[in-house]
């Protein structure tokens, strides 16, 4: 069974601080996606990383895919209250099967 473990599970920080969320697995994924989900809504796609070692930046968010495509990280610089939400990573299964495996989630709260 493939598992994607995220850490930390919960994070409460002050506005302006930096933070990193980790997504780890013992399995290789063809791609990895990061989502943010707000209460009562579906997850919203932030980024997809595909190549081992790939780094993508989205304003204050930096995403990295591990060289072996088994892990990923999300770094937020100068967090803002609007960044508050549940952050989920999801691994795309290598070709031959048709499903995404979601991580356990990191609940972030940014205090003003």
Partner 1 sequence: DAGVTQSPTHLIKTRGQQVTLRCSPISGHKSVSWYQQVLGQGPQFIFQYYEKEERGRGNFPDRFSARQFPNYSSELNVNALLLGDSALYLCASSRTPGGDNLNEQFFGPGTRLTVL
Residues in contact with partner 1 by the rule CB under 8 A = 4, 6, 29-31, 33, 35, 40-45, 48-50, 88, 90-95, 97-105
On whether the CB atoms of residues 35 and 44 are closer than 8 A, the answer is yes
d(CA 44, CA 28): 23
Name the strand (E) or helix (H) holding 100.
strand 100-102
CB of 40 to partner 1, least distance (A): 7
C-beta atoms surrounding 23 within 10 Å: 29
Nearer to partner 1, 2 or 80 (CB): 2
Identity of the residue, 42 or 82, whose beta carbon is nearer to partner 1 in the bound complex: 42
Residue closer to partner 1 by CB (options 14, 42) is 42
Shortest Cβ 37–partner 1 spacing (Å)? 8
- Phi and psi of 26, rounded to 5°? -95, -5
């Amino acid at each position: 069974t493939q598992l994607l473990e995220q850490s930390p599970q919960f994070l409460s920080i002050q506005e302006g601080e930096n933070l990193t969320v980790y997504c780890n697995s013992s399995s290789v994924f063809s791609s990895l996606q990061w989502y943010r989900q707000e209460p009562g809504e579906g997850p919203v796609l932030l980024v997809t990383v595909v190549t081992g070692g790939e780094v993508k930046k989205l304003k204050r968010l930096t995403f990295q895919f591990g060289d072996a495509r088994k892990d990923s990280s999300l770094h937020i610089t100068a967090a803002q209250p609007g960044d508050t939400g549940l952050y989920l990573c999801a691994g795309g299964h290598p070709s031959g099967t048709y499903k995404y495996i979601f991580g356990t989630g990191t609940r972030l709260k940014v205090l003003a």
